[in-house]
Structure 1
């Protein structure tokens, strides 16, 4: 513990720097808002709000509304004789409707063509002409004069700005708002300020010497047509210029050396019948408004209170704009009130945030009630005392205390700091933030606690011994589930001892079984860093380094695809048997164009299985790979549901490093490709019985809505000793079909495909019977019925040419054989056997006749 003070000093320096650059500002604001919610405050009853709320927007349409609507509302509210009304909406751009634009263009054209002077000209000409012509000219002049008058009248009705200007001229107690962009100014403004601002500006000579209000670079003023008739105009700041309840809102802004009051200060001053000469700044206190003292800092900012009504109701009486406009509110409720008109926080989007009424109402009430939150100059002293207290605790007291007592003391000190900050806030409205010292106490305490545990070897957290046991158990669980990377991540957190080394060694062997030799090498290296002579890890490190490129999924560019030259079996002494899922791979027993078949073993029940692998990632990429994987599992599930004595049984299907595999019944015997040579032909009756069993298997599959698609000798296994026949590879054809479609070529040979399969039409069970017929033809004659030198010629023959006569190739066949073959090889599926059972019955009847003849 002798070095605890160094850690404490580091915490003080780091936390002090972070606090100095404002990194705790978010926490300060959260604490300020919490204090404000916990502190009761009563708003002045002199303020009412006319809110542009969601009801108004729904009733009157989306913003912006015609300004004549605002003028109508001002006229209605003015009948109640309010003290002051204030519009917080932006009025800095003209509101021109398409109709008004068209009429203005027409009026200009009317004048440019001289038609505005036409009545006088026509009257002058009429006096020189006879009576009939003179009367016609007089009527024409009168029509032009009426048209000009009507045009001006219609333009005035459509001129929204004129309507609002008239409304303001009839109600001389309306204040307007303007926004500004902060920035430093020099020299003189390009245009002089309008009278609505200059008559309300504060005495700059006194204020600028003692205070420094924020400077405005540009002012977004209402149009002169409005300012001319307004009582005054005040600055309205908000989140867009960085002002808020926590940061404070300025009571005035400086514009080219002129001090302009905020809208809140202007309204408060006018409501008290005061003038700008009644405002002065008192250093270290704030702004004096008549007899009121508004606590503010040198930048003339105040933190307005957050007022709330009783039972969650609004703090200020709020009337919907549409209710006032439609006469649902008696205007006399506004008598001698400050009426604020604008959007509320509950309004829809499209209205500027600076014009929200709630913050403005809180500012005015805080001024009139003299209860604004403020930070006096002396508030920095208790803040400094808090930092000193936290530093003394960390550097001097904490090293002397035990962990529990130190924690209790830290909690007590943090609570004392928060309480010492909340009491003046609640009682006097004085704010200073305790977050810096409180965070120093919290972070410093935990930093030193962490240092003590590390140096004492107890681990990072209390209860580390139990955590280590949980880590070991969790790692073993991940290892048993095949999630070896997650198991390794858990084992690395264990202390190095015999038990841990044993766990890591077993994990490395599992990596070898998964053909992840690079990962196995990493684990062996980890063991060697702690004990280089552990068991045989030196030899295993060399071996796995050599074999690190041999993985289940070949590396890009290796050219080693599983099922196409690649294999899971590595002939290297000492290498663990590979694993696919839960199966141990013993040896390779066959391979095809896209797949490799291995003999495997299920170690849990000791069952020998055949494992067919399909390296999908070498044939497909991206989204196509995911689609093929989904199809693979669907087809495997469908095939796994087939249960027939002549269909191979599917036990399991899965995926290992993008290699899909199917575990199925291990068959004894050989596939029929061993019996298609002329010297290897089976007896005719045996061939017919084999094909009949396949037909019955297909009939069963077709009744379960499964089409094989790839019936051929290679997919039929026959056990000569027992006579068992098994049809294999259900569903695999759909996966290989996807590869064929993608590459644009046909994998293997189409010799066993039906005409409709070659044409790409929708297939049913009769296509499988055609393929079975070709297989039977080849088993009987030693040659397929269709063959050619090119793929195109072969496909043409299958689709268009009749098969050779069976008796012409083999004259010793019984008469019942040829009709069966002729029917099953019909080009038109409707002329073939319609079901596998129908075909099987014919084959078995013919086989029985042949056996009877041979007796």
Structure 2
């Protein structure tokens, strides 16, 4: 009677494995929803629950409404259930109906929609809705709670419960019930009141797989042909679009689309496509590496590596180890049938040590000349059946029998390098002694580059010929005779500083600093005239100790280094002394000469190059990226300011080096004055 008198009590029914399986009593059945006008599909869409605990018939008759309470509705709640053929609303829906009438006001509009007065409730399959949880703090909970004791004792202010929906039950969380049955009911009721619940429409069953299929099509159709960076960007874009769609549908339409899986699928698909493409390319590369074109390319690359190694070795002391390395280079050239390259290396060894192994015999086989003495050893660098070369090297095209070259009488050979030979000569017109440097350009350059090399040689020789400085070898004349290009230069009876670049023959510190300062002055003058040397190294700095004169040489042919390589494989220029910008093919300015001068100074002070490696690629990488060891760590009697000078000269960025040769010379002389006690 008390329940009936209060008139606003809604009771709950619970699922049970042992409850009644019979039809509801008339007293409880009156709380079913209105099926008027609903089709059989609508009624059959509600999930069945045959066994339930229901209030006694008298209690059902006295209460305003009865609703079905699910044990756990944290992930989804059915607004209707079918109890032995009778549709009961969920407890939150029954409470909502009680605020506006009764359960009979709940109309089943379709198999996925209910109506309550003017309120339309759209649901998913099984009349399911998804709760949207609220998050509060301990000091500010989402729902207010009061204890039963306070209510029974009358200590609670009645205004607290006035005009409010009061849920009675346990607030404690027990078992695996998540937030607790009471809190879940409160959350679901608030969702229904505010229209904030989430839906999972039936069309999502094909939308979500369809989106994954679309992502797969995009990945397979476009990503394999994209670069790696592009593929990653497309993957990120796909994932962002998918997650943005999910966020918009959730906030604007209250529809929860499970696209997190699709976003993860997009990322994994991109990764798998990239991995597959890399694998395919690796397999294709492995297959293609065996084609004749690739084999030829590898052979060319290996020949070029050997050329670089030979060029570096030519700048080191001619020790037994150096001879053996050069001999092995020639042997490998011969095995690859690069006979011109092999002959060039062997000839260089023969000029330094005619009796080394079987170099003379191999040269005879390669060149067809009879003036090489043989050695008893027999290591063949080329097949003996190979036809001898018909070309005569520049060093042998001029005999030492007073032969004329232009207007100059050849007296004797003074020395020979990789592609040039120097003779002592006399100007027949004025009787002046000259040094004549000959270069057989026709031998060294392909026909396509020969004319360009000749013009460049003449052009640069003329430019260098205008240089007039006490520390630069003067060039008197330039010409071509017997297919040999030549420079007639000032004869300077000195030695190159290369012999003082070894640890056992180093010059005093103060001497080195002064010699480098004079070289810097000479470079400053040349740069002001628009001439860049491009190949500064100890071998191109001559010194006469008796007169204390120092001179730079080889200005006239330095520009030929721009062509980089001759057809016989000789590298023009010296990698150990090249600046980073020379190695990368960037524009070369006077700062490049100052870098090479810094390397020269380093070697004259320590006897070792600042950058050393066992292979050319490693050497080039060190020049480009590494810092050299400080000279003061190698030679303990160096003044500290030398480290600063070397560091500035060897800066990777040309803008961070000395602005001019004069600036470097001044720094050297200031350092020498300040630390004059060092030697």
TM bracket, shorter-chain basis:
0.3 to 0.5
TM-score (norm 2): 0.42
| TM-score, normalisation: structure 1 | 0.33
